[in-house]
């Protein structure tokens, strides 16, 4: 099944809000995890935290840690939650 990013974002939010199937949440997280990039990592990180999407959150943390030097100068870097930033720094240091 192919889904695009806007649909996956909406399905993940609605799935959490209405407690719809875990399979749907897993499918959306998997899709979004594969589409993390500098233009959307902040949005995906906020979403992951708001709907307790653990695998998506972990992927965003890994993305931030891996791309710290590239994304730190971006304006949206300051929008990262303290928890995401802390976990990313730990992962960056440990790697």
Sign of the Cα torsion 53, 58, 62, 64 reads: positive
SS3 (DSSP) at 80:
coil
Q: What does the mean pLDDT of the chain come to? A: 88
Q: What percentage of the chain carries pLDDT values higher than 70? A: 95
SS3 (DSSP) at 74:
coil
Provide the pLDDT confidence category of residue 1 given band limits of 50, 70 and 90: very low
| 68 pLDDT above the threshold of 50 | yes
Average pLDDT over residues 18-37: 86
pLDDT digits over 7-21, tens only? 888 888 887 787 777
For position 4, what pLDDT does the model report? 64
């Amino acid at each position: 099944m192919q889904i695009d990013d806007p649909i996956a974002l909406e399905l993940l939010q609605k799935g959490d809000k209405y407690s719809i199937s875990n399979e749907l949440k897993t499918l959306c997280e998997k899709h979004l995890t594969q589409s993390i990039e500098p233009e959307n990592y902040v949005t995906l990180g906020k979403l992951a935290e708001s709907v307790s999407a653990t695998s998506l959150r972990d992927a965003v943390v890994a993305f931030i840690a891996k791309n710290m030097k590239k994304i730190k100068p971006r304006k949206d870097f300051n929008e990262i939650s303290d928890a995401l930033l802390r976990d990313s720094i730990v992962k960056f240091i440990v790697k």
